[in-house]
Amino acid sequence: MSRAGRDEQAVARFVERMGIVLSDAGMPRMAGRVFTHILAIDAGKATAAELAEGLNVSPAAISGAVRYLDQVGLILRARDPGERRDHYEVADDLWYEVYGNRDKLMRGWIDVLSDGVKAVGEHTRSGERLAQTRRFVEFLLKEMTGMMERWREQEGHR
């Protein structure tokens, strides 16, 4: 164990366990491992080579995982001034950013669901089901906005 209390074997077990949990939730297994590994690095960032070495996997496995994570907005690809290699990082307020940016997505769902209700007929069983889905997404959007404000207050952000 290091002086800072970091136990590398325990960290490796954590990365594997969290990778399984994320995989069970629908994330590709390697992406879950890469994401968790980056979260567990004090700097919150690593190059593809560092990720491959840290996870003891091939660079090809890292390539697909970081592409997925970047597409879903869980990591950022960046390059420090003067560096030749990209690194992959997580924001310190990652979850706020991930969920805070979902409002555009959810508004799009609401619009498409409204069109779907009109298309199938408002008073059909499928129209009622689509309308209920739209109302649920509207409810989530409203609740998420308040929840995000409460989170910022709790964390001391204004």
In CATH, what number is assigned to the domain containing residue 35? 1.10.10.10
pLDDT of residue 98: 73
- Going by pLDDT thresholds of 50, 70 and 90, the confidence category of residue 16 is very high
Question: Quick one: 51 and 19 in the same domain?
Answer: yes
Contacts of 117 (CB under 8 A, 6+ apart): 127, 130, 131, 134
Residue 145 has pLDDT above 60, yes or no: yes
Question: Quick one: 84 and 101 in the same domain?
Answer: no
The closest of 124, 74, 131 to 99, measured between CA atoms, is: 74
Among positive and negative, which fits the CA dihedral 150, 139, 21, 60?
Answer: negative
Q: What amino acid occupies position 154? A: Q
Question: Quick one: 13 and 84 in the same domain?
Answer: yes
Residue environment code for 116-145, b if the CB has 16+ CB neighbours within 10 A, otherwise e: bbeebeeeeeebeebbeebeebeeebeeee
Task: Report how many domains make up the chain.
Answer: 2
Among positive and negative, which fits the CA dihedral 120, 124, 125, 128?
Answer: positive
The closest of 42, 41, 136 to 51, measured between CA atoms, is: 41
Q: Which residue has the tokens 């995989």?
A: 23
Per the structure, the complete domain to which residue 53 belongs is given by: 8-90
Question: Quick one: 65 and 120 in the same domain?
Answer: no
- Going by pLDDT thresholds of 50, 70 and 90, the confidence category of residue 135 is very high
Question: Quick one: 68 and 116 in the same domain?
Answer: no
Of the residues 46, 68, 90, the one at which a domain ends: 90
- Residue 27 falls inside a structural domain: yes
Question: Quick one: 62 and 122 in the same domain?
Answer: no
Instruction: Determine phi and psi for 88, rounding to 5 degrees.
Output: -120, 130
